[in-house]
């Protein structure tokens, strides 16, 4: 069994990324170990440059993200953690797969539409982003892709691209399946609970960053938008409280009914305080590990070169098969 997921190094990582990403990476790393499989986690720096960014910032954030992946529980001995641009097969697969992806498919991607609206300069890279993502996944003959539900449309497109390539050139790719968490698959912005918590599109006060100090977390949760009424229940007409309940499940591992039962009859104010304390308890040990790991750049560089080597070896047979089946003359 092969697991693959990617995460962008730009921007400060938030609780939504933890719920749909980091937390699931650790769980699937364990699953891969139990099943005798392999897990690959990729810092997708090529994706990050599809929107405006600062090169110096990208460099620092790449190391930050590596440290955070390890601090949240990934083990570089058991999983392959690597940087996308260190494995050139990703850029090559992007071009080859673009030939079996239609303009119409890419135009329908809601992430492109949302992000394009927010950009002054809409790059061609932002438009073709899902093709690069499909290549990331398919190069590793991936079975499972742990992600948040915001990525569902891209995963479906990846499956379509893989099926089309297989039909046209012969069986080449495993058809991957998205893995979405039962709760916390889409954490919403605390200030605007109808929008997802996001690096580029959210509000500062409504976004809990994984490296936020406890006071900031308390302040953000305290001012979280709630709904009318008093009941602490997970219901469609209560997006604010439902979001806080989901955050509580992510922080403590409880189910939604367990959180509802524990806080039945209590007011919103007390509940928000308890959610803040649970998030702080979750993040404090992660932050301490992060600081320790991040302070050793030599070790981080070593981890990256080990990861790149493993990822190159794992992806090489697939990119070679793609070239062969598409009729390219290969160097002897
Ligand atoms: N709000 C969210 N709830 C649950 N999961 C989420 N993910 C992102 N937001 C939420 C999941 O995090 C993983 C990494 O996503 P990414 O590489 O796209 O990182 P990002 O750019 O920091 O994510 P954002 O905030 O979603 O960025 P923008 O603003 O660019 O749209 C993925 O598995 C994703 O599903």
Instruction: Output the CA angle 213-214-217, nearest 5 degrees.
Output: 95
Residue 202: what pLDDT?
Answer: 86
CA 170/CA 208 separation, integer angstroms: 46
DSSP string, 98-111: HTTS-HHHHHT-HH
Looking at residue 156, what DSSP letter applies? H
Tell me if 8 is assigned to some domain: yes
Q: Are 25 and 68 in contact (CB under 8 A)?
A: no
Same-domain status, 126 and 224: no
Same-domain status, 316 and 277: no
**In b/e form, how buried is each residue of 268-289, taking b as 16+ CB within 10 angstroms?**
beebbebbbebbbebbeebbeb
DSSP string, 179-193: E--SS-SSPBPSS-T
Helices (H), 263-331: 268-294, 297-325
Tell me if 209 is assigned to some domain: no
CA 8/CA 84 separation, integer angstroms: 10
CA-nearest residue for atom 5, ligand 1, is 20
Number of domains in the chain: 2
Residue 292: what pLDDT?
Answer: 98
CA-nearest residue for atom 14, ligand 1, is 7
CA-nearest residue for atom 27, ligand 1, is 199
Tell me if 57 is assigned to some domain: yes
Residue 119 has phi, psi (to 5 degrees) of: -105, 145
State CA 161 to chain mean position distance.
21
Q: Of 177, 207, 179, nearest to 195 (Cα)?
A: 207
Give the domain CATH number at 265: 1.10.240.10
Same-domain status, 8 and 101: yes
Same-domain status, 278 and 309: no
The sheet carrying 38-43 orders its strands as: 80-83, 38-43, 2-7, 144-146, 177-179
Tell me if 202 is assigned to some domain: no
Same-domain status, 238 and 131: no
CA–centroid distance, residue 198 to ligand 1 (Å):
6
Same-domain status, 153 and 235: no
Q: Given ligand 1 and candidates 18, 20, 132, 249, which is best to mutate, with the most ligand atoms within 8 Å of its CB?
A: 20
Same-domain status, 269 and 304: no
CA–centroid distance, residue 326 to ligand 1 (Å):
34
Tell me if 200 is assigned to some domain: no
Give the domain CATH number at 126: 3.40.50.620
Q: Are 112 and 126 in contact (CB under 8 A)?
A: yes
Residue 89: what pLDDT?
Answer: 98
Tell me if 109 is assigned to some domain: yes
Give average pLDDT by consecutive 10-residue segment, the chain, 332 residues: 97 96 96 95 98 95 98 97 98 98 98 92 97 98 97 98 98 98 97 94 94 98 93 95 98 98 95 98 98 98 98 98 98 88
Q: Map tokens 């090489």 to a residue.
A: 316
Atom of ligand 1 nearest to the CA of 185: 4
**In b/e form, how buried is each residue of 30-57, taking b as 16+ CB within 10 angstroms?**
ebbeeeeebbbbbbbbbbbbbbebeeee
CA 306/CA 82 separation, integer angstroms: 8
Residue 154: what pLDDT?
Answer: 98
CA-nearest residue for atom 10, ligand 1, is 16
Same-domain status, 96 and 48: yes
Tell me if 186 is assigned to some domain: no
**Could you tell me the residue range of the domain that residue 251 belongs to?**
214-291
Same-domain status, 169 and 61: yes
Residue 193: what pLDDT?
Answer: 96
Residue 118: what pLDDT?
Answer: 87
Give residues (CB < 6 A) around ligand 1: 7-8, 11, 16-17, 19-21, 147-148, 150-151, 185-187, 196-201
Tell me if 190 is assigned to some domain: no
Same-domain status, 28 and 51: yes
Rg (the chain; Cα; Å): 20
CA 268/CA 195 separation, integer angstroms: 21
Q: Given ligand 1 and candidates 21, 45, 112, 114, which is best to mutate, with the most ligand atoms within 8 Å of its CB?
A: 21
Return the number of other C-beta atoms located less than 10 Å from residue 60's C-beta: 12
Same-domain status, 29 and 149: yes
Same-domain status, 267 and 222: yes
């Amino acid at each position: 069994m092969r697991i693959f997921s990617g995460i962008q190094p730009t921007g400060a990582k938030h609780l939504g990324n933890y719920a749909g990403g980091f937390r699931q990476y650790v769980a699937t790393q364990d699953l891969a170990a139990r099943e005798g499989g392999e897990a690959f986690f990729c810092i997708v720096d090529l994706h990050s440059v599809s929107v405006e960014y600062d090169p110096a910032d990208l460099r620092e954030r790449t190391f930050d993200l590596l440290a955070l992946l390890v601090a949240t529980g990934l083990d570089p001995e058991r999983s392959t953690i690597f940087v996308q641009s260190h494995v050139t097969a990703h850029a090559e697969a992007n071009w080859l797969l673009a030939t079996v992806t239609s303009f119409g498919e890419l135009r329908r991607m809601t992430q492109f539409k949302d992000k394009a609206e927010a950009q002054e300069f809409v790059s061609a890279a932002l438009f073709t982003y899902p093709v690069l993502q499909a290549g990331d996944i398919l190069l590793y003959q991936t079975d499972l892709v742990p992600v948040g539900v915001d990525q569902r449309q891209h995963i479906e497109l990846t499956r379509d691209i893989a099926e089309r390539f297989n039909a046209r050139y012969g069986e080449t790719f495993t058809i991957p399946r998205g893995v979405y968490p039962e709760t916390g698959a889409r954490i919403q912005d605390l200030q605007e609970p109808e929008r997802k918590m996001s690096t580029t599109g959210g509000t500062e006060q409504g976004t809990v960053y994984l490296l936020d100090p406890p006071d900031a977390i308390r302040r953000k949760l305290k001012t979280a938008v709630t709904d009318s009424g008093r009941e602490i229940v997970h219901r469609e007409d209560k997006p604010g409280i439902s979001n806080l309940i989901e955050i509580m499940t992510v922080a403590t591992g409880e189910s939604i009914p367990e959180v509802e039962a524990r806080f039945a009859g209590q007011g919103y104010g007390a509940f928000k305080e308890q959610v803040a304390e649970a998030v702080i308890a979750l993040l404090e040990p992660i932050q301490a590990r992060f600081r320790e790991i991040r302070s050793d750049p030599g070790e981080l560089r070593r981890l990256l070169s080990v990861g790149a080597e493993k990822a190159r070896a794992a992806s090489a047979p697939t990119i070679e098969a793609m070239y062969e089946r598409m009729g390219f003359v290969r160097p002897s």
